[in-house]
Structure 1
Amino acid sequence: MSAKLKNVILMLLILILLFLLILISSKVYKFYVANKLDREVSNDKNVIKIGFSLGTLKEERWIKDRDIFMAKAKELGAEVFVQNANNDDEDQLKQVKYLLDKKIDVLVIVPNDLKKASAGVEMAKKAGVKVISYDRLVLNSNVDLYISFDNVKVGKLMAEYLVKRYPKGNYLIINGATNDNNTKMIKEGYDSVLLPKVKSGDIKIIGEEWSPNWMSEYAFEATEKYIQKNYGIDAIIAGDDGLANGIIESLSEHRLAGKVAVVAQDADLAACQRIIEGTQLMTVYKPLDKLAGDAAKLAVKLAKGEKLNVSNTIYDGKFTVPYYKLEPIAVDKSNIDDTVIKDGFHSRDDVYRYVN
């Protein structure tokens, strides 16, 4: 065999060997990638997915709810997908569908409308997804859990605080939105305190308003209307601190801020500042760390199929559902340092910012 032929055969053998090595390497690589992807898919399936559908983020408190919930859920190893409906019922239903398409394990919903949101709950149930109604109850929907503060007590605390200091006089009430079940519960609370006083003639309710979408602008206009009628307002119950802001703006324009007693709820930073300044008498503090943190824990438990051990229940208009009830706290100038500030809900520097 000639040297030239030997070289040709050697080159062919080398080429064949290289081809086989490339083929083997390619198969090994594909096997490795396939296994890696399988592991990632498997791991991804083990991650609990929670959909958080918020009716709004307009008020300061809902931003806190979102942030605390997400941080706690992440700490527990869950992934959270957040959607904000901006007070639009149709958008909220579309967003619920989007979250369900993400293959979530649990839907946590803050309904924009107490009845219309039931369609979203129904979609979730058909998809086999557990549902938590967060802070606001979805009516007629049989959610797996309702978590909120004792909203009847919120109304009681506001009314009791005023009655203790103003046992006689003209009261104005500016409620939140009629499409929020919390408004109804808060009213139940303050009515239980005020109606006996109204019956005795000590207190006169000069007006009761309902603010669409909890709009502070409406609260401003409503307060303006009653001031113009010269009723001589002694005290005002506001559905929340956002409404109190509109009320106090109106009072300020008539140099009545601090002269008319105003109470509300949520312990927003601006409300806490007004308490220190003396233009708002009291707010009902609802520790959101507890609400959002516990909601995240319970969502993870639901996803794992664990028992929640919730003893309270609430009737949603059609079904009796588990109710995880938290306690609200009345906060004024005397205890704001020991509650809102001590808990880290707001810093002392922020609360006392406008006071020398």
Structure 2
Amino acid sequence: MKKIGMLLLVLALVMTGVWANGSKESAASGKMTVGVCMPTQSSERWINDAANMKKQLEALGYTVDVQFAEDDVQAQVSQIENLVAKQVNCLVVAAVDSSALVNALAQAKEAGIPVIAYDRLLMDTDAVSYYATFDNKGVGTKIAQYIEETKKLKTAKAEGRSYTFELFMGSPDDNNALFLYNGVMEVLQPYLDNGVLVCKSGRTSFKETCILRWSQETAQQWAENYLSAFYANEKLDIACTAFDGFAYGLRSALEGAGYTLGQDWPLVTGQDAELMATKNIITGYQTMSIYKDTRLLAQKCTSMVEAVLKGAKPEINDTTQYNNNKLVVPSYLCQPVAVDKSNYKAIIVDGGYYTEDQLKI
């Protein structure tokens, strides 16, 4: 009778999902762990992403293990391998260089751990289940459309106007960077072709304009070189940058070259609407940025984690764009918003992303 009772108890545990390695445990029990791998803490953006993910996942009862790789590829490989060894229930990965993660992600798949790509597509792996990101081509499109509208490029040819123009694009090991570049060039290439935009460095391809690891220092060095080599006798009118960090580097280079705010300062774009960037928009050192509400992205990713761990299907709005060379990864794309001095209060402050006090100069 004791053996029969024990068998019945085991059967009850299995049926209620409490048995085995905990993969069926309720999130409310606090025993399910989500590993969150972020690329670096050197960018405000990734700190905010990690904090939002942790807050939202913990609110659902999950334990959250956040790891920052500080843009060190091998460090991120080790972090993922360690999380797999700890038998986390799900992995969320924003890659430093996804091509280096293929073997580590294969270990996760072999261990039965679902993987969600966060804002950077995981390439060349079939271990990834879903992808949460912003519309990366849309980011580039909005940057380019802002330039087009602000400088009235559509009528410039007929009116005899032209503008000097340089590109500072994202990291070649980040798949998003190419999407963004394509969005920019889809809008602006015709103006380069007809002479409305003049790139005096001649560097307009993605290969020529991409900056490894989104390095602010490299962007500044490039800008300093361009300004001395090509713009000694003619001012730079437009710096099309793909990241707020690049815009910070541009500011330093422009100040060093003697540019003056309110006189010959160029139009400078950016992405992420970081706190410093928003302050620079207010003062005029940066013209615009792309606001990406990381709270929303974290919310969508959190819902993906929740669905995966409950055996359900998450909300998806794109099943065609993101081919990682192994599969087309089902994705949710959040929409980016262009912000400048005219609308930052309505979008950023009224939206509760930053307060007026935070933005005091």
Pairs aligned (count):
315
Q: Offset of 1:286 from its aligned partner?
A: 0.4
Whether contact under 8 Å (1:48, 1:300) holds in the other structure is no
Whether contact under 8 Å (1:61, 1:266) holds in the other structure is yes
Whether contact under 8 Å (1:53, 1:82) holds in the other structure is yes
1:265 and 1:291 mapped to 2: Cα distance? Answer: 15
Whether contact under 8 Å (1:146, 1:321) holds in the other structure is yes
Matching residue within 332, 351, 354 for 1:324: 332
Matching residue within 299, 324, 329 for 1:293: 299
Q: For residues 120-158 of structure 1, give each alpha carbon's deviation from its aligned partner in whole angstroms, at most 9, with x where no partner exists.
A: 321211111111000000112131001100010100111
Q: Offset of 1:252 from its aligned partner?
A: 1.5
Cα 1:192–1:99, aligned 2, differ >3 Å: closer, same or farther?
same
1:238 and 1:42 mapped to 2: Cα distance? Answer: 46
Could you state the TM-score of these two structures normalised by the residue count of structure 1? 0.84
* Letter of the structure 1 residue corresponding to residue 166 of structure 2: L
2:51 and 2:326 mapped to 1: Cα distance? Answer: 32
Query: Residue 52 of structure 1 aligns to a residue in which SS?
Result: strand
Residues 1:141 and 2:106 aligned together: no
Matching residue within 86, 89, 92 for 1:108: 92
List aligned pairs for 1:1-356, cutoff 5 A: 46=26, 47-142=31-126, 143-166=128-151, 167=153, 168-206=162-200, 207-208=203-204, 209-231=209-231, 232-256=235-259, 258=261, 259-313=265-319, 314-351=322-359, 353-354=360-361
* Letter of the structure 1 residue corresponding to residue 283 of structure 2: E
* Letter of the structure 2 residue corresponding to residue 213 of structure 1: R
Query: Residue 167 of structure 2 aligns to a residue in which SS?
Result: strand
Query: Residue 80 of structure 1 aligns to a residue in which SS?
Result: strand
Structure 1 stretches (4+) deviating beyond 6 angstroms? 41-44
Whether contact under 8 Å (1:48, 1:303) holds in the other structure is no
Cα 1:161–1:101, aligned 2, differ >3 Å: closer, same or farther?
same
* Letter of the structure 2 residue corresponding to residue 139 of structure 1: M
Whether contact under 8 Å (1:271, 1:280) holds in the other structure is yes
Cα 1:138–1:257, aligned 2, differ >3 Å: closer, same or farther?
farther
Whether contact under 8 Å (1:263, 1:280) holds in the other structure is yes
* Letter of the structure 2 residue corresponding to residue 336 of structure 1: Y
Cα 1:191–1:257, aligned 2, differ >3 Å: closer, same or farther?
farther
Could you state the TM-score of these two structures normalised by the residue count of structure 2? 0.83
Whether contact under 8 Å (1:52, 1:81) holds in the other structure is yes
2:56 and 2:50 mapped to 1: Cα distance? Answer: 10
Q: Which moved more, 1:166-175 or 1:90-99?
A: 166-175
Q: Which has the larger radius of gyration?
A: 1
Q: Offset of 1:332 from its aligned partner?
A: 0.4
1:239 and 1:80 mapped to 2: Cα distance? Answer: 31
Cα 1:71–1:225, aligned 2, differ >3 Å: closer, same or farther?
same
Whether contact under 8 Å (1:178, 1:212) holds in the other structure is yes
What is the CA RMSD across the aligned residues, in angstroms?
1.9
Higher percent of residues as helix: 1
Cα 1:298–1:44, aligned 2, differ >3 Å: closer, same or farther?
closer
Whether contact under 8 Å (2:39, 2:46) holds in the other structure is no
Cα 1:81–1:297, aligned 2, differ >3 Å: closer, same or farther?
same
Cα 1:43–1:214, aligned 2, differ >3 Å: closer, same or farther?
closer
Whether contact under 8 Å (2:300, 2:332) holds in the other structure is no
Q: Corresponding residue for 1:9?
A: none
Q: Offset of 1:42 from its aligned partner?
A: 7.3
* Letter of the structure 1 residue corresponding to residue 115 of structure 2: V
Q: For residues 199-253 of structure 1, give each alpha carbon's deviation from its aligned partner in whole angstroms, at most 9, with x where no partner exists.
A: 1221123335322211111111110011102433110111210111011111122
2:169 and 2:296 mapped to 1: Cα distance? Answer: 25
1:42 and 1:107 mapped to 2: Cα distance? Answer: 16
Structure 2 residue runs of 5 or longer lacking an equivalent are 1-17, 154-161
Whether contact under 8 Å (1:54, 1:83) holds in the other structure is yes
